Amino acid sequence: MAHVVSKSEMRHVSVEELRQMASDYRESIWAQAQSVGREPKIYLHWTAGHYGQFWDDYHVQIDEDGEIYVYGELDDIFAHTWRRNTGAIGVTLLCGYLANTNDLGPEAPTAAQIESMALAIEALADGLWLTISKEYVATHGEAADNECNDWCHENYGPKSTVERWDLEYLQTDESPAYNPWAEDGSRGGDVLRGKAQWYRNQRV
Ligand SMILES: [Zn+2]
């Protein structure tokens, strides 16, 4: 059961600090994943809670203004993604209160949050030596439908029971360009990985 934690329990970090943390914990996280026959994963969520409301079950949490916070240690095993938590990092946007699949509600993902999540993905994937592909970086919705080249449970995502559809849709009033159901059929996860890969390309 997830619990709300106060902001004072969170560590505010820069993208470069997050990159260093991922590098520092790389061996530990890889060993953890390999102990259950997997490779490390980065799972992307939203909380379906409020802006500024922090939780105890995600490692990296991004607030409305795009500021990045870390809870606990990156190799702690938290309950963010059902049957996929060992050797996995949970990254979440603090948003999504009252969202449904037709209307992302009064606390939809902001453009700043989406951009910071892409930066966080790039930093974590760099520190952990991971490819930015769906196999290693997936939204909770994608993971729920077993789209990560592994099978961990019955499907419960947007293509099946729609029990979890985190970040499947990213369109907001202020940023209509983020609509993932564009003509090319791309979804929220594709948008986030695409942006993260763009940031990765800027570094080389
Ligand atoms: Zn989730």
Distance 166 CA to ligand 1 centre (A): 5
Nearest to 167 by CA among 19, 43, 15: 43
Distance 204 CA to ligand 1 centre (A): 32
Query: For position 141, what pLDDT does the model report?
Result: 92
Query: For position 185, what pLDDT does the model report?
Result: 54
- For residues 48 and 168, what is the distance between their CA atoms, to the nearest angstrom? 13
The answer to whether 154 and 143 are in contact (CB under 8 A) is no
The pair of three-digit structure tokens given for residue 95, joined into one six-digit string: 């948003």
Average per-residue pLDDT in the chain?
90
The answer to whether 102 and 180 are in contact (CB under 8 A) is no
Distance 45 CA to ligand 1 centre (A): 4
Q: What is the mean pLDDT of residues 58-87?
A: 96
Q: What is the mean pLDDT of residues 74-98?
A: 95
Residue type, 106: P
Distance 12 CA to ligand 1 centre (A): 21
- For residues 122 and 107, what is the distance between their CA atoms, to the nearest angstrom? 25
| Fold type of domain 4-203 | Lysozyme-like (3.40.80)
Distance 140 CA to ligand 1 centre (A): 5
The answer to whether 118 and 202 are in contact (CB under 8 A) is no
Residues whose CB falls within 8 Å of the CB of residue 56, separated by 6 or more in sequence, listed in order: 2, 3, 4, 5, 71, 72, 78
Distance 93 CA to ligand 1 centre (A): 10
Distance 83 CA to ligand 1 centre (A): 12
- For residues 64 and 10, what is the distance between their CA atoms, to the nearest angstrom? 15
Distance 165 CA to ligand 1 centre (A): 8
Higher-confidence residue of 64 and 184: namely 64
Tens digit of pLDDT for each residue in 22-31?
999 999 999 9
Q: Is the pTM of this model over 0.85?
A: yes
pLDDT > 70 fraction of the chain, expressed in percent and rounded: 92
Tens digit of pLDDT for each residue in 137-186?
999 999 999 999 889 999 998 888 888 888 888 764 444 444 444 445 56
